[in-house]
Amino acid sequence: MVDEKTKKMILDGEAVLGIELGSTRIKAVLVNRENEPIAQGGSDWENTLLDGYWTYSLSDVWKNLATCFSNLKKDVQEKFGIPLTKTKALGISAMMHGYLAFDKGGNLLVPFRTWRNTTTHKAAEELSDLFDYPVPERWTISHLYQAILNKEEHVKDIAYVCTLAAYVHWMLTGKKVLGIGDASGLFPIDTNTNDYDQKMIKGFDALVEDKGFPWKVQEILPEVLVAGEVAGSLSTEGALLLDPSGSFTPGIPLCPPEGDAGTGMVATNSIAQRTGNVSAGTSVFAMIVLEHELSKSYNKFIDLVTTPDGSLVAMAHANNCTGEYDRWIKLFGQVVEAMGAKVPKHELYDILLGKALEGAKDCGGLLPYNYISGETMTGIYEGRPLFIRLTENQFTLENFMRAQLFTALGALRVGMDILFEDEKVEIDTINGHGGFFKTAIVGQTMMAAALHTPISVLKTAGEGGAWGIALLASYLVNKQESKLQDFLSERVFASSEASVITPTEEDIAGFNVFFANYKKGLAVEKAAVEHLP
């Protein structure tokens, strides 16, 4: 039976839309006045390794965005029997970091270099030393400076450098702006001014002054905006990019575009001090909202970024998480099919990942590495997935699956040990979201063991970053002078339900044994990079 109230709200253009371009899927979520998801659309895509760089083509960006939007329209039509022609607000989010460089004519100068690339080691080190501030390899400014160090011809022609979210937003609105959360992974932010750190801006300009470029760095970066600020409106050309049929109405206001880390914080209500969230999918990262600055800089290990409203956040990031065990599960699925059987994908995941709960607490000594790409946190700069075992190890399916889940969290644990043990950071809760948590109980149990901390998962966590950016778009038009934290707590999460798993002493001890082996085995991983080019 059609919900007539929701149907009228959509027809009146009162629903709000969020779209996020994730690493493997582009997703759109439409929410009602109560900020509840009412319709969805999606499109799968995948990065490629081109000339040594992980990338997505811009044609794939627009093809898959249009497919995603078309599928959203179909979902609205099927549920409510009406077309989707307008919304009250719109927000764009995408995977953070990376490098998109354009000339003054708007032409892409080199293929998009994503966050996954670990080719900026020298640039990140030099900038971290120059700024006395952690500048990771993933950051846009690291990619720009590495291109300068490489003496790449395109640098002199740059007129604009941005992240994927900023690019898509620019094409939809004509505005070169970026939400502060995503901007904080582009260039260091001064949280007192909610803008790029001017001392570091001047330092970078001085560093490259002898190159004679016709630009200063702030001139080629997007303007920084905080949550709640108007970031432009959907242009006629932008509306056609989203909906080539021409039925979607331009003029819709957009919130500042954000990165997936920021939308993850919003989607888990983790933007207040002493809260944190861990997003686990293709990559895995923990975001801890700090009460005060860290005692020192932890280059390569801890990033300093911000919430969408400008609070300081410590971020521990690992490039690899579920990608390798996804491939193993696909292989097991092929075995099942070769035997003449057919198991739905979601059942295959639930069954195989569920086996991890039956494995030995320390995985029986099995030691995989899920390094599809390089892993800065552990000093590995190229991908070499490995599986290692001693002859006497307990090589069982249960132990194998538990080890695959544990190794997905190994690099993350390196960073979290710094925050918990060295900096004595205290938090009240860590909220989990992302594909790692899709199989009930399993992901939470493994994460709790790895972080020796209770892990909470909201029932809405599966909506992910697309819902998070929809909430930021809703905040733009419905905030009524309230702060973002109050808006989320009072109008989104007031009655939300969550499941919490507290790790047992045995699970913690088991992960610690695994982690000790993990750190010892990194020498084998490094040898694989060296000897298997």
How much is the mean pLDDT over the chain? 95
Residues above pLDDT 70, as percent of the chain: 99
* Contact predicate 405/353, CB 8 Å: yes
Using the Cα atoms of residue 13, residue 15, residue 18 and residue 19 in order, give the sign of their dihedral. Answer: negative
| Pairwise CA distance, residues 141 & 66, whole Å | 30
> Which pLDDT score is estimated for 480?
85
* Least confidently predicted of 162-176, 354-368, 414-428: 414-428
DSSP letters, 258-327, are EEHHHHHHHHTT--STTEEEEEESSSEEEEEE-SS--SS--TTT-EEEE-TT--EEEEEEES-SSHHHHH
Using the Cα atoms of residue 488, residue 492, residue 493 and residue 494 in order, give the sign of their dihedral. Answer: positive
Q: How confident is the model at residue 20 (pLDDT cuts 50, 70, 90)?
A: very high
Does the pLDDT of residue 462 top 80, yes or no?
no
- The tens digit of pLDDT for each residue in 343-378 reads 999 999 999 999 999 999 999 999 999 999 999 899
Report helix, strand and coil shares of the chain as percent, to nearest 5.
45, 20, 40
> Which pLDDT score is estimated for 3?
83
- The tens digit of pLDDT for each residue in 66-106 reads 999 999 999 999 999 999 999 999 999 999 999 999 999 99
DSSP 334: H
Q: At CB < 8 A and 24+ separation, what contacts does 334-342 make?
A: none
- Say what the pTM is: 0.84
| Pairwise CA distance, residues 182 & 395, whole Å | 43
> Which pLDDT score is estimated for 14?
97
> Which pLDDT score is estimated for 390?
93
**Domain boundaries defined on the chain:** 323-407+506-531
> Which pLDDT score is estimated for 464?
79
Does the pLDDT of residue 25 top 90, yes or no?
yes
